[in-house]
Structure 1
Amino acid sequence: MYRFNTKGIRSKRTSIRVNGLRVPLLILQPISKPKNAPGVLWIHGGGYMTGMKEMAYIGRAADLVRNHGAVVIAPGYHLSLFHPYPTALKDCYGALLYMKKHARELGINPSQIMVGGESAGGGLAAAISMYARDKGEVNIAFQMPLYPMIDNFDTDSSRDNHAKVWNTRRNHQAWAVYLRKNAKKEVSPYAAPARQKDYSGLPPAYTFVCTTEPFYCETLTYINNLKAAGIPAKVDVYEGLYHAFDMSEPDSPAGKAAIKSYNKHFAYAKKHYFADQKSK
């Protein structure tokens, strides 16, 4: 059972409808009423198959509220066991549109709409950044796809990986459930962001990853592709650790280092990255 630390955070709940389905939203705000704050769509992990929006309390999303005064919207997107791709993508994009529409009343600066998430949530954050760029309805200022699940093909680090928490077997299973018969095919980059060919115009990015987890190679490739397209992008690499170590061991030396660096990079983004919204 999860124990959610709500200290320093006030929350409210609402829902939207996307393609006829109800999508619950958890909205986290600082205790003091936010004004002109960064707004972050934070997407939970779980291999697209499991997880819940309340995981925002135990991961890095809560840091953004407590330490930086951000407003976080965590969508309870439909999981892939009963709703394969593209339902989760459409759910999260609907939440992004909600954030833009209600930015002022939520205390969000419309020019600082950002996205982030862990693992599969990081994959959806990357996919939403691409989808939003191509749709042209919302301009995203910054993306934080932490150790993202973005490649449906095996890489040098996801092939023959037997690490704890996440490994090759679980990775293959999760992609098979999310993409069904297309799990090992060339799919849209909205389904598997590693399939992207055009990285131009995507938001600046920050992420971190460890060397022994399956997503090590795809994370570095993603950051390198952004850099090659002229997009500011940075990655921190932690040696010998396992997937989502910052959530499992936040008080370990490596966990503390990762969390400190993550907060430092978000503080920089808050100061430097803006994306004005187009008026209709």
Structure 2
Amino acid sequence: MTTETRYPPFDPELGAALAVLAEVSPPTITPEMIPAMRTGNPALAIDDDAFDAAGLERRDVEIPGYRGDAIIVSIVQARGRTGTGPGIYHTHGGGMIIGDRWTGIAGLFGWIVKHNAVAVTVEYRLAPEFPDPVPVEDCYAGLAWTAEHAAELGIDPDRLLIAGGSAGGGLAAGTALLARDRGGPRLCGQLLMYPMIDDRDTTVSTRQIDGVGVWDRTSNLTGWTALLGDRRGGDDVSIYAAPARATDLSGLPPAFIDCGSSEVFRDEDVAYASAIWAAGGDAELHVWPGGFHAFEGFAPQAALSQKMLAARDNWVDRILGS
């Protein structure tokens, strides 16, 4: 009898990309690695040339975050944009411990142009220096600011979408719950890309993806412990920090949830979609066979990546009315 941990096989094309990635980036992140990871990866950096090439412009605004502390949001729109269109509020990924407001922003470029949209991306403060509830409350503060300034930003208040990937997907889900429970701002949808939503480390998928792939079980525990400290996995964790703990998912905007079959977040993401359906809500769920965490970012030309991106595009088109 074997005790080897089994996990769904990686898509062959993605598996080849993962083998190359493993040579330069270990699958496991431990607390002492956080400072070095914050120095940035030049290969993932985005500069003004990328915005120029997409025909976009950006500007920063300082706003009050949680408890009135100053944080930055950046507005991204087509150069010379006029009129009113949808708003896309972006909460970046990075396991609650790394990244900045530009992490993943290129994934919004096509929607900004196609829908004449305005994106607002928030520089929420990171754990462990700023533990829960600071990150999600910063995100909520930025959403509230966006809604309050919709007219001057040229945003249709009936078409305000929240979007985030990984930790940003968890923060987007938590912010949507806060918006529901605080009576606004109103959201037309929540785009949750492989969201990080459960701190309890009890699913099959978290046990399967351990020492393999991208963002494995130990990495996940590192991120959640940074955010929650000794509360991780205990009873004193709010649904806004870990949305998988919510027992009532009624009254939420339509959700799009995707993930890979071979990633830590698979089971919690499937369960979250199921809980939305159980509450009578609207959710579209995609579990991509053989996909590791954030595979479309690491292997964008892979066939499975193209299918993942197309599914998101189709949903965004429907939600934003194009």
State TM-score, norm by structure 1: 0.93
Q: Which residue of 2 aligns with 1:251?
A: 301
Identical counterparts, % of pairs: 32
Query: What letter matches 1:153 in structure 2?
Result: R
> What is the deviation of 1:138?
1.1
Deviations for 1:135-159, whole angstroms, at most 9, x for unmatched residues? 0031111001110000011211012
Work out whether 1:99 is the aligned partner of 2:146: yes
Q: Relative to 1, partners in 2 of residues 1:267 and 1:188: Cα closer, same or farther, differing over 3 Å? A: same
Query: What letter matches 1:73 in structure 2?
Result: V
Runs of 4+, deviation exceeding 3 Å: none
Work out whether 1:200 is the aligned partner of 2:277: no
> What is the deviation of 1:207?
1.9
Q: Secondary structure at the match of 2:102?
A: helix
Q: Secondary structure at the match of 1:54?
A: coil
Q: How does 1:1-280 map to 2 (within 5 A)?
A: 1=42, 2-4=44-46, 5-6=50-51, 7-18=54-65, 19-58=67-106, 60-154=107-201, 155-162=203-210, 163-186=212-235, 187-271=237-321
Task: Return the index of the structure with the highest Cα Rg.
Answer: 2
**Structure 1 gap segments, 5+ residues each:** 273-280
> What is the root-mean-square deviation in Å for CA atoms of aligned residues?
1.4
Query: What letter matches 1:170 in structure 2?
Result: S
Q: Secondary structure at the match of 2:252?
A: coil
Q: Secondary structure at the match of 1:48?
A: coil
Deviations for 1:232-265, whole angstroms, at most 9, x for unmatched residues? 1101121112101111111211111111111111
Distance 2:89 2:103 in 1: 13
Query: What letter matches 2:232 in structure 1?
Result: A
State TM-score, norm by structure 2: 0.81
C-alpha contact 2:86 2:155 (8 A) present in aligned 1: yes
Q: Secondary structure at the match of 1:79?
A: coil
**Structure 2 gap segments, 5+ residues each:** 1-41
Determine which structure has the larger helix proportion and give its number. 2
Deviations for 1:182-230, whole angstroms, at most 9, x for unmatched residues? 1111311011000001111011101211000000011111111111111
> What is the deviation of 1:164?
1.9
